[in-house]
Amino acid sequence: MVLFWKTAVNPWRLLIFPLDKSPTEGASPNSIFNGCPSYSFIRKIIRVTTSLLNQLSALVGQSFAKCDLDPSFGKVVISQRRELGQFQCNGALGAAKKAKKNPREIAETIVTELENTGLFRDLSLAGPGFINMRLNDDFLIKHIEMISNDPAFGATDSHKAETVVLDFGGPNVAKAMHVGHLRATIIGESLRRLHVFLGDKVISDVHFGDWGLPMGMLIKEIELAKPDLPYFDEGNSGPFPADSPVSVDELQLLYPAASGRSKEDAEFLETAREATFKLQQGHAGYRALWQHMLDVSVSETKIDFDLLGAHFTEWKGEADTNDHMPVMLERFKEEGLSELSEGAVVVHVAQDTDKKEMPPLILQKSDGAVMYGTTDLATIEMREQDHKPDTILYVVDGRQSLHFEQVFRAARKGHSISNAAKLEHVGFGTVNGKDGKPLKTRDGGVVRLRSLIEDAIEEARKVVVEAGLNDRFDADELENIATKVGVAAIKYADLSNPRMSNYIFDLERFTKFEGRTGPYQMYAAVRIKSMLRKADEQGLAHGPLVLTADAERNLMLALSLLPEAVLAAADKNAPNLLCDHVYALTQEFNSFYHDCHVLGEKDEAVRASRLTLCAMTLRQIETVLHILGIDVPERM
């Protein structure tokens, strides 16, 4: 079978069959797949029509299949040694081992097969049987045009849209958000944007911590400070004052005070427990006071979330489960899923295969109070009712993994959610100080999220002045740029690490305008923007792509890898893969810009093509930075 490329639209559509037909249905042109054990493998990869690597893998796989070899050996990767080729396939080695044949002979046969496709400019063999490939320029151009005509660069073609609930942010009433919430917010928001980009239905819920013992502690602490407030009159059923009796600043002092008192004073702790229970049971005064605490806390955290560009479709909290909780507790009891253990209601979640001890999930303590796990379990049931999610992702500190494992097991045991739905704890490591230990203030206290953001913006102000930007921009624009640079710095630094790794918070490094930093990626985009603006001013037209230099080819190859980056990032909940992609892109762009004239190019067709390539690159960099939550200013 000879595969010819004839169409100007999407050449691969000719090669890539049978898109939806099974091989036994009708006359399928790829009879080579019939009876082939790895047919399902090929079917899987050829569906992904817009990923160049998958297309090539499918094609090379066909050649392996023709030689009665497993097509999965046709896996093609981008070549790390561009002087040898753009792509490589090392499958001949594995195939030879399996078939007990000579790898070089197999590779030679595959190369002959591939030559017949007419799609390659260059095919060569290296070492014991590595196949190096260079695509025809026309094909590369068509491919890049095709993905660039798609708003998502072809990344969504193979993605089946899902309903995804993202639980992230997770602030607590009265406690200022701290460094731990930084990662939850930054990673969570980028996953939210990633799923929106993929076309999923995304529900983002902040899941406020607003229903545990800290609430009772605060109520009692406020009572000690202001005993005359109407909230403490037993029997007063309201209405209560519309204004909050405590400001957010007061609350933030009251919380550590209450927490300290609870540790020292057992009696106080007991009254706090009672107050928590009464609050949960609907005590009118406590509820009214609690609502004020919640409202001022929500307004305060909105400032942090706005600074970080985080969006929530739901501002729910643990307390929203209060009405559902008794229903759930009753059902668990009825169905024999929960049991009494030393007065507490628990769900056993240990399994025979457990290597570590798996304690039961406590639903209700002996005093009747519900726990963090109870609210999380009830939240799963409510999310199932409200949204029927395919996936719920919890972007929460990795140190809470035991908690989530217990909750998820209880949810499975109690059929709280459809069996098919995925529940996943997307954990992350800690942000450390230069001493390698979790970041603390100088006096050993908790570092507030706001101060981290402010410090980053402050550092960015210094950096933009050092870069001479203050000569070119007025104060407002300079401040806008510094804010964007500061936020980009902490976001990129956070997201570029594999999320389970800890990292050291080092603003000086994060704000540098070179290397793997947010400000640098952002600056690369701004430079392209300003070049395109200049081209516009000079009336220079964009035109069809032509290829004249390797730097252009390499840039196109980098552009072609977006679908892989996006899909792998979503699959592994790994925004760092998007950071890697955008970094590779800006690097290739630099080489291109170094090797190729754009505005100064004399040949009109070449210049027009390069302008098109610049515009495509800019759009892709901005798209990825947007997913990472990084805003690019118009100028800097």
Encoded one letter per residue, x for contact with ligand ARG by CB under 6 A and - for no contact, window 332-371 reads: ----------------------------------------
Nearer to ligand ARG, 165 or 528 (CB): 165
State in angstroms the smallest separation of the CB of 209 from ligand ARG. Answer: 3
DSSP 202-233: EEEE--BB-SSHHHHHHHHHHHHH-TTSGGG-
**Among 202, 240, 245, which residue's Cα sits nearest to residue 222?**
245
State in angstroms the smallest separation of the CB of 207 from ligand ARG. Answer: 4
8 Å CB contact between 300 and 176: yes
Nearer to ligand ARG, 70 or 318 (CB): 318
CA 211 to chain centre: 28
Q: Which residue is nearest to ligand ARG (CB)?
A: 170
State in angstroms the smallest separation of the CB of 324 from ligand ARG. Answer: 15
Nearer to ligand ARG, 71 or 170 (CB): 170
Which helix (H) or strand (E) is 553 found in, with range? helix 550-560
CA distances from 481 to 132, 472, 494, 522 (A): 45, 12, 20, 11
State in angstroms the smallest separation of the CB of 424 from ligand ARG. Answer: 12
State in angstroms the smallest separation of the CB of 49 from ligand ARG. Answer: 38
Helix (H), strand (E), coil (C) string for 507-545: HHHHCCCCCCCHHHHHHHHHHHHHHHHHHHHCCCCCCCC
Encoded one letter per residue, x for contact with ligand ARG by CB under 6 A and - for no contact, window 288-307 reads: --------------------
Which helix (H) or strand (E) is 340 found in, with range? strand 339-341
The interface region with ligand ARG, picked from 164-172, 284-292, 351-359, 585-593 by CB under 6 A, is 164-172
Nearer to ligand ARG, 141 or 395 (CB): 395
Nearer to ligand ARG, 134 or 192 (CB): 192
Residue type, 444: G
Q: How far apart are CA 534 and CA 607, in angstroms?
A: 13
CA distances from 126 to 11, 63, 89, 355, 557 (A): 28, 18, 11, 46, 21
The interface region with ligand ARG, picked from 142-150, 166-174, 254-262, 520-528 by CB under 6 A, is 166-174
DSSP 16-36: S--SSS-TTSS--S-GGGTT-
CA atoms within 13 A on the CB side of 256: 7
Out of 167, 300, 320, 588, name the contact with ligand ARG by CB under 6 A.
Answer: 167
Q: How far apart are CA 447 and CA 441, in angstroms?
A: 5
Q: Which residues, in sequence order, are CB contacts of 441 under 8 Å at separation 6+?
A: 447
Nearer to ligand ARG, 181 or 529 (CB): 181
Out of 170, 285, 427, 518, name the contact with ligand ARG by CB under 6 A.
Answer: 170
Segments in 24-168 forming alpha helices (H) = 39-47, 52-66, 91-99, 103-117, 137-148
Nearer to ligand ARG, 86 or 185 (CB): 185
Nearer to ligand ARG, 85 or 212 (CB): 212
End-to-end CA distance of the chain, in Å?
A: 55
Which helix (H) or strand (E) is 384 found in, with range? helix 372-387
CA distances from 555 to 12, 59, 518, 601, 635 (A): 21, 23, 20, 18, 23
Out of 71, 188, 209, 486, name the contact with ligand ARG by CB under 6 A.
Answer: 209
Q: How far apart are CA 231 and CA 278, in angstroms?
A: 13
State in angstroms the smallest separation of the CB of 349 from ligand ARG. Answer: 16
State in angstroms the smallest separation of the CB of 260 from ligand ARG. Answer: 19
State in angstroms the smallest separation of the CB of 204 from ligand ARG. Answer: 12
**Token pair of 437 as six digits:** 């230990």
Out of 172, 262, 321, 623, name the contact with ligand ARG by CB under 6 A.
Answer: 172
Q: In what order do the strands lie in the sheet with 120-126?
A: 76-78, 87-89, 130-135, 120-126
State in angstroms the smallest separation of the CB of 171 from ligand ARG. Answer: 7
Residue labelled with tokens 């603003």: 507
State in angstroms the smallest separation of the CB of 276 from ligand ARG. Answer: 16
Residue 91 buriedness (CB in 10 A; 0-12 / 13-18 / 19+): buried
Encoded one letter per residue, x for contact with ligand ARG by CB under 6 A and - for no contact, window 503-542 reads: ----------------------------------------
State in angstroms the smallest separation of the CB of 231 from ligand ARG. Answer: 24
The interface region with ligand ARG, picked from 165-173, 415-423, 585-593, 624-632 by CB under 6 A, is 165-173
Told to check if 189 binds ligand ARG by CB under 6 A, we report no
- Restricted to residues 373-412, the positions that interact with ligand ARG (CB under 6 A) are 376, 394, 396
State in angstroms the smallest separation of the CB of 394 from ligand ARG. Answer: 6
Nearer to ligand ARG, 31 or 401 (CB): 401
The interface region with ligand ARG, picked from 124-132, 167-175, 185-193, 250-258 by CB under 6 A, is 167-175
State in angstroms the smallest separation of the CB of 261 from ligand ARG. Answer: 21
State in angstroms the smallest separation of the CB of 327 from ligand ARG. Answer: 19
How many residues form the binding site for ligand ARG (CB under 6 A)?
8
Q: How far apart are CA 400 and CA 85, in angstroms?
A: 46
Q: In what order do the strands lie in the sheet with 361-364?
A: 339-341, 344-347, 361-364
CA 42 to chain centre: 28
Out of 183, 195, 207, 292, name the contact with ligand ARG by CB under 6 A.
Answer: 207
Judged by the rule CB under 6 A, the positions of this chain that interact with ligand ARG are: 167, 170, 172, 207, 209, 376, 394, 396
